[in-house]
Structure formats: structure tokens, C-alpha cells
């Protein structure tokens, strides 16, 4: 049996980042674009069990509905899906979350990923041409508002977006209510959302209620030993929490890097950037520390498959 190499350290610190990434983190803290005023606890290093309970009880994962202030207009009635998100997905059993990391390349994890009842993918991550490594099933795709807005033409045309349930998320100010966020979203994605809904009216497509970003961020900050970037969690972390609310069990692939760790950003591009794995804008390093802390799988699974196993919130007893 091969020896297990080093896996993600749950106490990873920004001190060990390359200097330019330390600087990027400091710049984001000085900028504080979302007006985060955090007064809560810090360094509350909870046990994995308590941390799971905090995540279960304090992060409220919901989709925008007609009852959400500005979305109550007759115009929005035509665009928001008629069926609620929970009715559309139902309760899921074993789920897979597929990060888009470069370390998925040559992983041959495709079959294992597809053996799950549901698979979550992110942004523009393709399956065609990469089935052997990432599988071909897509149950839910979580996309950010930047992609939907800045790459609107691709988003409306590329067939990869036509599979499964779509969810878009957009960063909101720390204290903002839905009204304020609606008036000033980070990216003005509402028109693209409507255009997509007109083009593909049959495909379920939801808008994530932005409240959850900061509910989750607070818990990440509370459980970190230093100040984390005052920016929303990454799509990857939002997706992990989303699936923990829907599934009995969640296997996450290559969020914590395996022995294949690389500075290649995505498995589907040639672009090299170490920040994709360690975080620049997003508090990604601290997200990974928390995920390592609550992992119920083995270090060997992380090392060989980049695999972390988390319980669904239905299975968490507090
Ligand atoms: O880059 P993108 O946001 O589309 O990737 C989806 C998610 O996968 C990220 O939000 C991040 O959580 C995770 N990821 C990672 N390491 C990488 C690339 C992506 O952990 N190298």
C-alpha cells in the first residue's frame, strides 16, 4: 500500500501563502467592498459536530420567491419558476460536488462521480470531452452573476448550460436587505436571467437568496484564526452547503487537493494560477480549513481521490 502524502492542513494560515497572495488578501481587507462590519466571535474553534450544527442552523439556503419584496411584481411572476426549488429537486440521497480544479485532470473519477444520485457542477465547467475525469451527469449547475452578465452570449448559446437545474448567485453587501441588493447587484444580471428564461422557459432556473452568503461567511470567520477576506465565499463553498441541505451524504471532489494538486486553475483550461486553489478574492483557504475540519472521510481518500465526505444536514443531530 502506497504511503499517504501530505493533505490539506486544517490550520492553514495566510503566513504560508506566497507573498503576492498575502498582499492580495490585505488589499481586499482594506477595500472592504461589501461593508462588512464583523463584531462577532473569532477563533471559536468548535468541534466538528458543533460546527456542523452551526452550519445547519444558521445558514438558510433559499431561492428568491415572489414573496421577496421587489420580485413580487407581475413582470417577475412571468420569469421566476412556477415550481419551488424544493419541489423541483426533492430529497436527494448520495450527492457529488465537483470542483473545477485542475487536479481533476487524469483523475479517472468520472464513473465514481456518476454513481451518485445527483451531481453539482460550477460555472462553465464542461463534461463533454472530460467524462473520464469528471463524469457526465449534471443535476444542478451553480453559476455566478459575473458569468451570466459578462459572458451573456456564451451563457445563452452554449449547450452545456441546458442540462439540469440552474442556480445563479450574486454578491450582496453585508448588511443589505433584498431591496437594496436588487437595486445594486454586484453584476447587473437580472436582464440576462430574463433573457435565458425567455429562451429556455422549460428549464428550472433559480436565483439564490443572497442572505446565505454572509450567514456562511460569519461562521467561516468565527472559526478562523485570522481575519478572512471580507468577500463572499466561493461558488464551491456555496455549492457544498447547498448540497448538504438537499442530500443525505455529500462527496466533494478536488476541493481539498489530492496528490494531483497543480497550479492549473481549471481542468478544462490551460490557464495557470495558484490563487484558484488558495484563494485571492474569496476566503477560499479558510473555506478549505473548515471543510477539512468537518470531513468524515479519510486522509487517504483526500490524497488519492481529492475526496471529502460530508453528512447532509438531515443526518446531523444537534
Ligand atoms: O473557478 P470556479 O469558481 O468556476 O470554480 C468552482 C469552484 O471550485 C471554486 O469556486 C472553488 O471553490 C473550487 N476550485 C478550487 N480550486 C481550483 C479551482 C476551483 O478549489 N483550482
pLDDT band at 96 (very low <50, low <70, confident <90, very high): very high
| pLDDT reading at 59 higher than 90 | yes
Angle at 316 between CA 313 and CA 318, to 5 degrees: 125
Instruction: Give the per-residue pLDDT at 42.
Output: 76
Check whether 130 has a pLDDT greater than 80. Answer: yes
Q: Which residues contact 41 (CB under 8 A, 6 or more apart)?
A: 222
Calculate what percentage of the chain has a pLDDT beyond 90. Answer: 95
- Could you tell me the strand order of the sheet in which 140-144 lies? 205-207, 165-169, 140-144, 118-122, 92-98, 247-253, 307-311
Atom 17 in ligand 1: which residue has the minimum CA distance? 101
pLDDT tens readout for residues 1-49: 567 889 999 999 999 999 999 999 999 999 999 999 988 777 778 999 9
User: Taking the model in full, what pTM does it have?
Assistant: 0.98
pLDDT in tens, 172-213: 999 999 999 999 999 999 999 999 999 999 999 999 999 999
Using the mean position of ligand 1's atoms as its centre, give its distance from the Cα of residue 143 in Å.
11
Q: What is the CA radius of gyration of the chain?
A: 19
- What distances in angstroms separate CA 166 from CA 127, 159, 173, 201, 225, one per listed residue? 15, 13, 23, 12, 35
CB atoms within 10 A of CB 48: 14
Q: Which residue has the cell 444520485?
A: 117
pLDDT of residue 2: 62
pLDDT at 41: 77
- The pLDDT, as a whole number, for residue 3 is 75
- Say what the pLDDT of residue 110 is: 98
pLDDT at residue 80 tops 60: yes
Distance 72 CA to ligand 1 centre (A): 34
Q: DSSP alpha helices (H): ranges in 223-262? A: 235-246
Q: Mean pLDDT across the stretch 95-121?
A: 98
Instruction: Please report the ipTM that was assigned to this predicted complex.
Output: 0.99
Mean pLDDT calculated for residue range 288-305: 98
User: What average pLDDT does the structure give for the chain?
Assistant: 96
| Three-class SS of 98-140 | ECCEHHHCCCCCHHHHHCCCEEEEECCCCCCCCHHHHCCCCCE
Distance set, CA 17 to CA 14, 21, 74, 227, 237 (Å): 5, 6, 50, 14, 20
Burial 298-316 (b: 16+ CB within 10 A, else e): eeebbbbbbbbbbbbbeeb
Is it the case that residue 155 has pLDDT exceeding 60? yes
For residue range 223-253, list pLDDT tens digits in order. Answer: 999 999 999 999 999 999 999 999 999 999 9
Taking the C-alpha atoms of residue 144 and residue 234, their distance in angstroms, rounded to an integer, is 9
For ligand 1, which residues put their CB under 6 angstroms from it?
A: 99-102, 122-123, 234-237, 255, 265-266, 276-277
Q: Mutation test of ligand 1: which of 142, 143, 148, 236 has the most ligand atoms closer than 8 Å to its C-beta?
A: 236
Dist. CA 311–CA 88, nearest whole Å: 22
Look at ligand 1, atom 7, and give the residue with the nearest C-alpha: 236
Amino acid at each position: 500500500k502506497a504511503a499517504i502524502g501530505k493533505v490539506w492542513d486544517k490550520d492553514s494560515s495566510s503566513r504560508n501563502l506566497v507573498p503576492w497572495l498575502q498582499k492580495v488578501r490585505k488589499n481586499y481587507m482594506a477595500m472592504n467592498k461589501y461593508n462588512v462590519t464583523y463584531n462577532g466571535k473569532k477563533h471559536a474553534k468548535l468541534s466538528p459536530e458543533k460546527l456542523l450544527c452551526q452550519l445547519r442552523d444558521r445558514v438558510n439556503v433559499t431561492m428568491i420567491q415572489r414573496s421577496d419584496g421587489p420580485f413580487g411584481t407581475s413582470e417577475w411572476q412571468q420569469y421566476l419558476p412556477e415550481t419551488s426549488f424544493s419541489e423541483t429537486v426533492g430529497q436527494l440521497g448520495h450527492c457529488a460536488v465537483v470542483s473545477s480544479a485542475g487536479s481533476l485532470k487524469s483523475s479517472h473519477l468520472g464513473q465514481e462521480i456518476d454513481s451518485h444520485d445527483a451531481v453539482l457542477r460550477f460555472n462553465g465547467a464542461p463534461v463533454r470531452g472530460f467524462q473520464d475525469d469528471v463524469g457526465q451527469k449534471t443535476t444542478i449547475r451553480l453559476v455566478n452573476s459575473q458569468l451570466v452578465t459578462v459572458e451573456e452570449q456564451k451563457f445563452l448559446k452554449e449547450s452545456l448550460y441546458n442540462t439540469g437545474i440552474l442556480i445563479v448567485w450574486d454578491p450582496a453587501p453585508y448588511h443589505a436587505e433584498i431591496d437594496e441588493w436588487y437595486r445594486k447587484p454586484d453584476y447587473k444580471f437580472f436582464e440576462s436571467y430574463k433573457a435565458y428564461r425567455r429562451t429556455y422557459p422549460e428549464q428550472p432556473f433559480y436565483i439564490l437568496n443572497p442572505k446565505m452568503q454572509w450567514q456562511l461567511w460569519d461562521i467561516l470567520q468565527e472559526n478562523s484564526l485570522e481575519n478572512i477576506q471580507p468577500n463572499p465565499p466561493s461558488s464551491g463553498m456555496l455549492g457544498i452547503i447547498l448540497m448538504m441541505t438537499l442530500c443525505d451524504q455529500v462527496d466533494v471532489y478536488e476541493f481539498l487537493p489530492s496528490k494531483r494538486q497543480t497550479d492549473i486553475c481549471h481542468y478544462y483550461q490551460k490557464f495557470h494560477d495558484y490563487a484558484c486553489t488558495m484563494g485571492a478574492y474569496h476566503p477560499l483557504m479558510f473555506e478549505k480549513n473548515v471543510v477539512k475540519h468537518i470531513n468524515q472521510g479519510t486522509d487517504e481518500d483526500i490524497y488519492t481521490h481529492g475526496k471529502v465526505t460530508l453528512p447532509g444536514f438531515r443526518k446531523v443531530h444537534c
